[in-house]
Amino acid sequence: MNTFELLKPRAGLRVLISGAASGIGAAIADAFLQTDAHVYVCDVDPAAIEKVKQRSPKLHTGVADVGNREQVDAVIDDAHARLGGLDVLINNAGIAGPTGDVDAIAPDEWERTISTNLNSQFYFLRKAVPLLKETSDCASIIAMSSVAGRLGYAYRTPYASSKWAIVGLMKSLAVELGPSNVRVNAILPGVVQGERMDRVIAARAESTGVSFEEMKQQYLDKISLRRMVTVDDIAALALFLASPAGRNISGQAISVDGNVEYL
């Protein structure tokens, strides 16, 4: 096998991606489809899933609130039945959570953020890991964290707490599952172009009393390369981690962020 071939996931991988009706998850799903993978995606929004099915008929799809254990169990059972097994789990689902001083954050908002971002990853793992252990030589888990999982993030404490916890979960699982030949890594996206980031910037601008454009520039000034990343940048790393070239990469929290210096 030549070097170029090592950089491509093998054809026929069975991939499950949570929160993949739009944004990063959708880009990763599209990227794996281009490598002839069999891909199952789920999302909480039935209308968004319907659009995904129309855009990419080859995708297998399901609807689930990832913070609901029973719904996650049902999705994994459905994915197992349709894919005939599982080689790659990408725990991507997440929400931005509230923005504000810690004493102003409602407990319900805190709990919803932790449930969606962190608990959901455990719910998928507890059912998917036995399936991944059954696969041959390519089992891989990719946990979507954030640059806020390596840096402090004022006014976004629920989000940052969940993303730091995901890195700890990943590193612990890499040790636990290594003897079973299951690799576990985390991707830490930085400031990602798109509507979601625009909403985050707008909320932070409002909470600190500055304009949207001023807050956007503040974000860019914190990035060494002075630019945002794209969803395709994140998808490219996911493909690499699932490829033969990544077979000895495990337990790593890898940033794709243009080197965000601080938040």
Q: Which residues are catalytic?
A: 159
Query: What is the DSSP secondary structure assignment for residue 44, as one 8-state letter?
Result: S
**What tokens appear for 14 in the block?**
């069975």
What's the gap between Cα 163 and its chain centre? 10
Write out the two tokens for 189: 């996206």
Task: Give the Cβ contact number of residue 214 at 10 Å.
Answer: 12
Beta strand residue intervals within 48-177, DSSP E: 60-63, 88-91, 140-144
Residues 6+ apart with CB under 8 A from 54: none
As a residue count, the chain comes to 263
Q: Rounded CA gap, 178 and 157, in Å?
A: 31
Q: How many Å apart are CA 235 and CA 79, to the nearest integer?
A: 21
For the chain, the first-to-last Cα distance in angstroms comes to: 42
CB 245 within 8 A of CB 7: yes
Instruction: Please give the single-letter amino acid code of residue 112.
Output: R
Task: Provide the residue type at 64 as one letter.
Answer: A
Give 60's contacts (C-beta < 8 A, 6+ positions apart).
38, 39, 40, 41, 78, 79, 82, 83
Secondary structure of residue 16 in the 3-state scheme: strand
Whole-number Å distance between alpha carbons of 191 and 216: 10
